[in-house]
Amino acid sequence: MSFRPAALVAALMPFLASPAAAQKLASPLSFTVFAGAAIPVGDASDDLNTGFTIGTAVDLRVPVSPIGARLEGSYSRFSIKGTPGVTAHSSDLGTNLNLVLWMPMSIPSPMTPYLTAGPTFSRMEGSATQGNASVSVTENHWGFNAGGGIDLSLGTLALRIDARYKRISTDEDAFQSIPVTVGIRF
C-alpha cells in the first residue's frame, strides 16, 4: 500500500473548511479574558444587587474531539441592598475546573456552541464600613457550576458569550449566582 498525499488532503478537508476548524487543529491551548454581569439568584437576590464579574480561562481542546477542559479564575463583586450610611459588599474569588462539550455543527461554521460544567472553589468575602468602623468575614467553600455558550471565530481571535449557574455551598445555605459574560479568546 502506498502513501497518497491527495487522499490525506481529501480526508482532512472537512476539518480545514473553516478558519475555526483550522485553528483547533493548530493549537490545543487557548486563552480567554472575559467580563460581564453577575446576577444573584435564590436567597442571595434578597440581599444583593446585580454585580460584575471579570476573569480569565485556559482551554485545552484535543484536536478533532468534542470534549475539552477549561480552567477558569474569576472575581465577582456585589453591593449589599438596604444599607443606608453603610458601604457594604460581597465578593467571590473563585476557580472552576470544567469539562467542555463542544457541539458539532452539521455544516462548517465559525460559530460553535458548547456546554460546560464542573467543580468550583471560592473564597467568599463580605465586608461593611460605616464611618471609621469596618468588619470583614472571609470563608472558603466548594460548589459547582454548569452552563453553556457560543464561541464565534473571528480569524485568529474569537468572541465568546457564556452564561452559567454557579452554586457555592456555605455553612448556613448556598450562595447562587448566574454570571453572564462576553470574552475574547486568543
pLDDT tens, residue by residue, 127-155: 999 989 999 999 999 999 999 999 999 98
| Residue at 20 is within a domain | no
Q: What is the mean pLDDT of residues 170-174?
A: 85
Strands 67-79 and 51-61: antiparallel
- Is the confidence at residue 90, as pLDDT, over 70? yes
- Is the confidence at residue 9, as pLDDT, over 70? no
| Residue at 4 is within a domain | no
| Residue at 43 is within a domain | yes
Highest mean pLDDT pick, 107-111, 171-175, 177-181: 177-181
Confidence (pLDDT) at 10: 53
Q: Please tell me the distance from the alpha carbon of residue 100 to that of residue 16, in angstroms, as a whole number.
A: 22
Domain count, the chain: 1
Which range has the worst mean pLDDT, 38-42, 54-58, 127-131, 180-184? 127-131
Full-model pTM: 0.82
Which range has the worst mean pLDDT, 4-13, 19-28, 81-90, 163-172? 4-13
| Residue at 134 is within a domain | yes
Q: What is the mean pLDDT of residues 58-78?
A: 95
- Is the confidence at residue 22, as pLDDT, over 80? no
β-bridge partners, 163:
148, 180
Q: What is the mean pLDDT of residues 70-89?
A: 93
Q: Are 108 and 18 in contact (CB under 8 A)?
A: yes
Confidence (pLDDT) at 64: 86
C-alpha cell at 70: 477549561
| Residue at 14 is within a domain | no
Q: Please tell me the distance from the alpha carbon of residue 148 to that of residue 163, in angstroms, as a whole number.
A: 6
Q: What is the mean pLDDT of residues 28-35?
A: 96
- Is the confidence at residue 4, as pLDDT, over 90? no
Q: Please tell me the distance from the alpha carbon of residue 8 to that of residue 29, in angstroms, as a whole number.
A: 25
The closest of 84, 50, 54 to 177, measured between CA atoms, is 50
| Residue at 46 is within a domain | yes
Q: Please tell me the distance from the alpha carbon of residue 99 to that of residue 87, in angstroms, as a whole number.
A: 38
Range of the domain at 130: 28-185
What sign results for the dihedral spanned by CA atoms 66, 69, 73, 77? positive
| Residue at 1 is within a domain | no
Query: In this predicted model, which residue has the larger pLDDT, 185 or 156?
Result: 185
Confidence (pLDDT) at 174: 92
Q: Please tell me the distance from the alpha carbon of residue 186 to that of residue 183, in angstroms, as a whole number.
A: 10
Q: 134-155 burial, b for 16+ CB within 10 Å, e for fewer? A: eeeeeeebebebebbbebbbee
Confidence (pLDDT) at 16: 45
| Residue at 8 is within a domain | no
Query: Residue 65 belongs to a domain with what CATH number?
Result: 2.40.160.20
The one-letter code for the residue type at 128 is A
